[in-house]
A and B are shown apart, each in its own frame.
Chain A
Amino acid sequence: MKRTKRPFLLKLSSLTLCAALLLTGCGGGGASAGSGSGNQTASGAGGKKTLTFWHIWGSGDSNSTAVAKVIADYETLHPDVKIEVQTFENDAYKTTIRTNVSGDTAPDIYSAWGGGFSKPFVDAGKVLKLDDYLTNEDRDKLVSGALKNFTYDGGVYGLTFGMSCSGLFCNSELFEKYGVPLPKTWEELISAIDTFKASGVIPISTSIKERWVIGMLFEAIALKEAGADQMYATLTKNGGSFSDPAYLDAAKKLMQLEEMGAFNSDAAAISRDEAEVPVKQGQAAMYYMGSWASGSVDAEDSVDAGKFKFIPFPTISGAKGLPTEFNGGGADGILVNAATADPALAADFVKYFTENLSREDYQAGNYLPTYKDAQVDESKISPTTLDIVDATKDASDFVLWWDTLLEGSDVTTYQDALDLMIQKQLTPEQFVEELKKIQP
């Protein structure tokens, strides 16, 4: 009897020990995850309200410090509110948030993209309409066009904290060395490319492997050909059409650049990161990229830091596009779940968050501000960022990136066709035929 009892006791005690370890292990993990408080539901027991917030600016992202600061500030101002944050990696998040929104398991507040990305959410009635929570005063604070990509059927469904736009980053050191003026027209661009090419300088550094990079350049040409109104109407399937000759002209112009050797010869093999290397080493004269690149062209490892000029894409004579029209706009924003327990509180947080993050991100050089009169120390902002602000201060319109403004399957149609045209598998005429398959 005694002999069997002892091992049993031993087993029991080791089991208890295991259980205890497991439990404390879990407890420790939970506490370090930062939830802490026991009030998980909105307006929970302790009088503390909780909002769940998912976003993509986790540690390591250039935006993470600013985001964390703004959230902490809000909690300090509102001691009765607890913001429960969960962060995700960018690419994975695009699938995660989609699944959760369609499965009604999305958090109260979440980050998303404007245009075609959030359109299915709005169509499915999963997003809170913010019009009732936006006063005229709130609207006045915003720069023009800040709500454009989050407005669906006349209603505002999201707020954005930053804008970006694309433009030509010109290395003024090289432009001066070869006596080339900064191009304002298509002809000047062509002659600049010829000069640089003859001198062994890469005229425009780009990536074809990452389809959105070459796409950005095509969209810039298309904007100057078609004009902002026509292009926006076409992409949002609201009256425009790819049958407009502007798109064929734009495709031909892109192929003209490709055929004259305007791009680095390994563009199809390298990523955007790699395409940026010759820019930073002073071997490429021009770089067509989003305003966010201002940080890296001015970084310490860039040999011509501080000498980059940001200019709008050159205009094309006889075409409709204006020099004040840009590709880009406010695409990164925050949406509120239609099923949130306390819509007013969530909307209040989103307003506070976007306004303050707009300032923080501008200061940090991540985005251009979406709120006017941001109080920032301009001496601490990178010179190229200030150049961009200057170039866009009279902007008349922004048309969002095609891969965001169009819906998913249309993005594939567009990018596949562009890829084939660049590799000369499609003629510009055939490319436009492919674009026409995007159903109006």
Chain B
Amino acid sequence: MDKVMSDKKAVVIFLLPSFILFCAVIIIPIFMSAGYSLTEWDGTRAKVFIGLQNYKELFSSPVFLKSMLNSLIIAVASVLIQLPLSLLLALCIAHGVKGEKFFITVFFIPVILASVVIGQLWARIYNQNGLLNLFLRALGDKDAKTAWLGGMKTALPAVIVPILWQYVGYHMLLFYSGIRSISQDIFEAAKIDGASFWRTCSSITIPLLKPIIEVSVTFAVVGSMKTYDLVKVLTNGGPASASEVITTLLVRTMFYPGNRYGYGSAMAIALIAECFLLYLALGRIFREKPEKLEKPLKDERSAA
């Protein structure tokens, strides 16, 4: 193996195919989009170079800013609601709940389902005579007839719930396998020392899970920025862009009916830049966070 790695020629030859492929499908198109984003172009007629005009329009467009804000709200909700929930489930399952496999399967089902199916499912739940309104009627609100996906105030929260729900199982599985890979000796030692469930979680499991949590947070944030399918199915960004995200806006601006390839490319570049910046920022936050010195377990025992 060392022999192969030291042979520069072999390294180059073996890496070349995937490097070419990577350039052809990712790097080159990004640079092409960056080029298009400086033009006014409808996809058919001649491109007109207009410099940074598209970006100026972009950042003064209330719809774009609104969609950017919505994407960020989804990202924050993912980190603050979805991940803690996943972590809690993973902790419960990994720390001796009967029927581990069963619960893992159940929570993982939404991840396997196609987003379109989930969208249709939740559209029925939010229907005027859907599950949610029937539930509210059963609770006593006889006139519960809200069209959840159609209200300016309710549409975004109504879209966020299934987005979070869909990937709870995914993050739970990441956490679960992370917990499983922690040596059992540590848990046993904690048990002998008399640590409670919560104490074990907060002092052992969660600190040791840090790398996995970092991965999950990155996935959740970048994934939220790229959300498209559920929003498309549930509200299509409506009503009046109340639940618009960057991707839904991009598609209708760039392709049908907008047909503005130049402006749409600027939007795509902005999205790429935003994802990349968030990724860098997250890396920074995780690196700079000082390692918390855990209180020795002794304290708890003497307190007890």
Q: Residues on A close to B: CB < 8 A? A: 91, 94-95, 98-99, 101-102, 120-121, 123-124, 126, 208-211, 265-270, 403, 407-409, 411-412, 415-416, 419-420, 422-423, 425
Asked if B150 contacts A268 (CB within 8 A), the reply is: yes
Distance in Å: Cβ of A132 to nearest Cβ of chain B:
24
Asked if A99 contacts B43 (CB within 8 A), the reply is: yes
Q: A208-B239, A420-B240 are in contact. Are A94 and B256 (CB under 8 A)?
A: yes
Q: A269-B149, A403-B257 are in contact. Are A98 and B44 (CB under 8 A)?
A: yes
Distance in Å: Cβ of B281 to nearest Cβ of chain A:
32
**Which A-B residue pairs are the 9 nearest by beta carbons?**
A408-B259, A268-B150, A269-B150, A266-B147, A423-B240, A269-B149, A120-B44, A269-B147, A411-B257
What size tier do the contact residues of chain B reach? 20 to 34
Q: A121-B44, A208-B150, A266-B127 are in contact. Are A419 and B240 (CB under 8 A)?
A: yes
Residue of B nearest to A102 (CB): B44
Contacting residues, chain A, for B151 (C-beta < 8 A): 268-269
Query: Which B34-75 residues sit within 8 Å CB-CB of chain A?
Result: 42-46, 63
Residue of A nearest to B253 (CB): A412
Contacting residues, chain A, for B257 (C-beta < 8 A): 403, 408, 411-412, 415
Q: A408-B42, A409-B260, A415-B257 are in contact. Are A425 and B150 (CB under 8 A)?
A: no
Contacting residues, chain B, for A208 (C-beta < 8 A): 150, 238-239
Asked if A270 contacts B150 (CB within 8 A), the reply is: yes
Residue of B nearest to A412 (CB): B258
Asked if B44 contacts A124 (CB within 8 A), the reply is: yes
Asked if B239 contacts A209 (CB within 8 A), the reply is: yes
Q: How far is the CA of A164 from the CA of B24 in the complex (A)?
A: 44
Q: How far is the CA of A312 from the CA of B1 in the complex (A)?
A: 80
Residue of B nearest to A94 (CB): B256
Query: Which B287-303 residues sit within 8 Å CB-CB of chain A?
Result: none
Known: A268-B147, A269-B150; 5 extra A-B contacts, CB below 8 A, are A101-B44, A409-B263, A412-B253, A416-B241, A422-B240
Residue of B nearest to A426 (CB): B240
B170 at the interface (CB under 8 A from A): no
Query: Which B232-286 residues sit within 8 Å CB-CB of chain A?
Result: 235-236, 238-242, 252-253, 255-260, 263
**B45 CB contact (under 8 Å) in A123, A266, A411:** A123
Q: A98-B44, A123-B45 are in contact. Are A268 and B239 (CB under 8 A)?
A: yes
The dominant DSSP class at the B interface is loop
Q: Which of A124, A267, A408, A416 has the most CB of B within 10 A?
A: A408
Contacting residues, chain B, for A98 (C-beta < 8 A): 43-44, 259
**A209 CB contact (under 8 Å) in B43, B127, B238, B255:** B238
Q: How far is the CA of A126 from the CA of B149 in the complex (A)?
A: 43
**B147 CB contact (under 8 Å) in A121, A211, A265:** A265
Asked if B152 contacts A423 (CB within 8 A), the reply is: yes
Asked if B239 contacts A423 (CB within 8 A), the reply is: yes
Q: How far is the CA of A403 from the CA of B258 in the complex (A)?
A: 10
Distance in Å: Cβ of A275 to nearest Cβ of chain B:
12
Query: Which B106-163 residues sit within 8 Å CB-CB of chain A?
Result: 126-128, 145, 147-152
Asked if A102 contacts B43 (CB within 8 A), the reply is: yes
Distance in Å: Cβ of B180 to nearest Cβ of chain A:
41
Contacting residues, chain B, for A411 (C-beta < 8 A): 257-259
Q: How far is the CA of A7 from the CA of B43 in the complex (A)?
A: 55
Residue of B nearest to A95 (CB): B255
Q: Mark B163-179, 1 if CB is under 8 A from A, else 0.
A: 00000000000000000
Asked if A425 contacts B240 (CB within 8 A), the reply is: yes
Contacting residues, chain B, for A94 (C-beta < 8 A): 255-256
Distance in Å: Cβ of A380 to nearest Cβ of chain B:
35
Contacting residues, chain A, for B252 (C-beta < 8 A): 412
Q: A91-B256, A409-B260, A412-B257 are in contact. Are A209 and B240 (CB under 8 A)?
A: no
Distance in Å: Cβ of A9 to nearest Cβ of chain B:
28
Q: Which of B127, B147, B256 has the most CB of A within 10 A?
A: B256
